[in-house]
Amino acid sequence: MTPDQLRDAVVALGQKPFVAKQLAQWLYEKRETDPGKMSNLPAALREKLAAQPLLTSRVIEADDSGEGTTKLAIRLHDGPIIECVLMREENEDGSARLTACISTQAGCAMGCTFCASGMLGLKRNLTAGEILEQFYHIDALLKKDGLSWLTNVVVMGMGEPLHNFDNLMQALTILNADWGFKFGARRITVSTVGLPDKIRELAKQGMQFNLAISLHATSDKQRTKLIPTNVATGLANIIEAAADYFSETKREVTFEYTLVGGENDSAADARRLAELLRGFPRANVNLIPMNPVEGSGLIAPTTQAVEEFTRILKQAGVNVHVRKKRGRAVQAACGQLRLRLEQQF
């Protein structure tokens, strides 16, 4: 809830309006969900808050890769399962880099052929509260490990974030606000399959999020094969919207490119990608060697193909990074853990 919504809620429970600020400090700044520990709240309010859990979801499985990545499967109150991920890394200066990857939908309607998130279709959007609850579950992991609060957030889990725009913006506003989690917008990355109108709407929000666009192809024919919804958008429109986003926000745009063996990982693909992004201001390319998804019929690229693709992009002056393979032991592809658990029931 926003401050105004919290104020209305506590007044409806018979409390003074100023109590809302105290409650917000407990919920957001201190990330406390046990009303019994909210010591400066009136006893009557604590009793009412304790009558039902403040978190509506629960962790049903936590898979640890042994290399710093923990994936949580979370069951929502009405049954669907979502995923979120905690990635623990070390920066060059030795400081901890703690990144949360969160979901915005239960399932996904985009139908990307290399992704497990949409294999069971879209069940529903998450509420703003359900998006934020993932942070409480991840915070519990951090506390267990004796680690401090997160340094980065990527909205890159299950679902298409811009397909759930209003709830996403309410959650990110609370995450960013001084009265909320106080998490800097420049440390938040919103990832999208590429919805041009929504990209432009995001740019108008006045918040300096980083933007990541799942490109994954160098022609519309190729992209529509991998991402069926591309038929309604097209590469040129997506890249134009990305340029508009940069123009409005001056924030970095990253183009995600999942390398699929024999599909989009050739030297010719690399040259077309470099040409496609020629002249784009401050663009980064993040190459992601595909994690195999059972039933997709797609395969991972060879090490040689990844290295050659990278070499060609660098030679063309493209700022490129290859994402380190992490968590294959925990079914690292988006939605794989959730897919397995859903199929058990």
Active-site entry in 61, 83, 89, 308: 83
Q: Is residue 195 within 8 Å of 162, Cβ to Cβ?
A: yes
The string of DSSP letters for 135-174 reads: HHHHHHHHHHTT--S-SEEEE-SSS-GGGGHHHHHHHHHH
Nearest Cα to Cα of residue 105 among 61, 64, 166: 166
User: Would you call 193 helix, strand, or coil by DSSP?
Assistant: coil
Amino acid sitting at position 140:
A
Q: What pLDDT was estimated at residue 66?
A: 74
Q: What are the strands, taking DSSP E only, across 9-95? A: 58-64, 69-75, 81-90
Alpha-carbon distance 121 to 345, whole Å? 16
The model's pTM = 0.89
Q: Please confirm, yes or no, whether 47 is among the known catalytic residues.
A: no
Which secondary-structure segment (H or E) carries 322? strand 319-322
Contacts of 166 (CB under 8 A, 6+ apart): none
Active-site entry in 84, 108, 112, 334: 334
Tokens of 102: 């969160």
Distance of CA 217 to the CA centre of its chain: 21
Domains of the chain: 1-52 (1.10.150.530), 55-344 (3.20.20.70)
Q: Is residue 320 within 8 Å of 313, Cβ to Cβ?
A: yes
Alpha-carbon distance 201 to 162, whole Å? 9
**Going residue by residue through the chain (345 aa), what tens digit of pLDDT does each one get?**
999 999 999 999 999 999 999 999 999 999 999 999 999 999 999 999 999 889 999 999 999 977 889 999 999 999 999 999 999 998 888 899 999 999 999 999 888 877 777 677 899 999 999 999 999 999 999 999 899 899 999 999 999 999 999 999 999 999 999 999 999 999 999 999 999 999 999 999 999 999 999 999 999 999 999 899 999 999 999 999 999 999 999 998 999 999 999 999 999 999 999 999 988 887 899 999 988 776 667 889 999 999 999 999 999 999 999 987 654 444 555 555 645 555 555
Q: What pLDDT was estimated at residue 65?
A: 78
Q: Is residue 132 within 8 Å of 58, Cβ to Cβ?
A: no
Alpha-carbon distance 101 to 97, whole Å? 13
Distance of CA 308 to the CA centre of its chain: 29
Q: What pLDDT was estimated at residue 330?
A: 46
User: What's 101-120 look like in SS3?
Assistant: ECCCEEECCCCCCCCCCCCC
Cβ neighbours, 10 Å, residue 267: 12
User: Would you call 124 helix, strand, or coil by DSSP?
Assistant: strand
Q: Please confirm, yes or no, whether 83 is among the known catalytic residues.
A: yes
Contacts of 19 (CB under 8 A, 6+ apart): 10, 41, 42, 45
